[in-house]
C-alpha cells in the first residue's frame, strides 16, 4: 500500500494533499472493512515518513465530517 500511496503522492503538484478515505479505499484496491483499511493506511503512512517521502501524515476530519488522509510531500531542493 505504501508504494501505491507513493505513486499517488508523486503524481500531484500539491505539497499538501488530502484524500477522503472512502475515495482512497477503492483506489488502493482494498476490499476489507473501512476500519481495517484505516489501520493499514496508517501503517503505510508511517512507512512513507520513515523513508522520508512525506512528513506530518495523518488522518483528520474534513469540514463535512468525513475522514481525510493528509500527506505533506517532502520537496526537492531547487
32 within a domain of the structure (yes/no): yes
Number of domains in the chain: 1
9 within a domain of the structure (yes/no): no
Q: Which residues contact 4 (CB under 8 A, 6 or more apart)?
A: 28
Q: What is the pLDDT of residues 42-68, one digit of tens each?
A: 999 999 999 999 999 999 999 999 999
What whole-number distance in Å separates Cα of residue 52 and Cα of residue 36?
A: 25
Give the relative orientation of helices 2-10 and 34-50 as an angle to the nearest 10 degrees: 70
Q: What is the pLDDT of residues 10-41, one digit of tens each?
A: 999 999 999 999 999 999 999 999 999 999 99
- pLDDT at site 75: 75
65 within a domain of the structure (yes/no): no
50 within a domain of the structure (yes/no): yes
Classify 65 in phi/psi space as left (phi over 0), alpha (psi -120 to 50) or beta: left
30 within a domain of the structure (yes/no): yes
Cα dist. 44→28, 63, 64 in Å?
11, 24, 25
The percent of residues in the chain predicted with pLDDT above 70, rounded, is 96
Range of the domain at 47: 21-54
Amino acid at each position: 500500500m505504501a508504494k501505491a500511496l507513493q505513486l499517488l503522492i508523486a503524481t500531484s503538484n500539491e505539497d499538501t494533499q488530502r484524500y477522503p478515505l472512502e475515495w482512497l479505499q477503492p483506489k488502493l484496491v482494498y476490499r476489507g472493512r473501512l476500519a481495517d483499511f484505516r489501520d493499514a493506511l496508517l501503517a503505510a503512512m508511517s512507512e512513507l515518513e520513515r523513508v522520508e517521502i512525506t512528513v506530518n501524515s495523518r488522518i483528520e476530519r474534513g469540514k463535512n465530517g468525513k475522514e481525510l488522509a493528509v500527506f505533506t510531500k517532502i520537496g526537492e531542493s531547487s
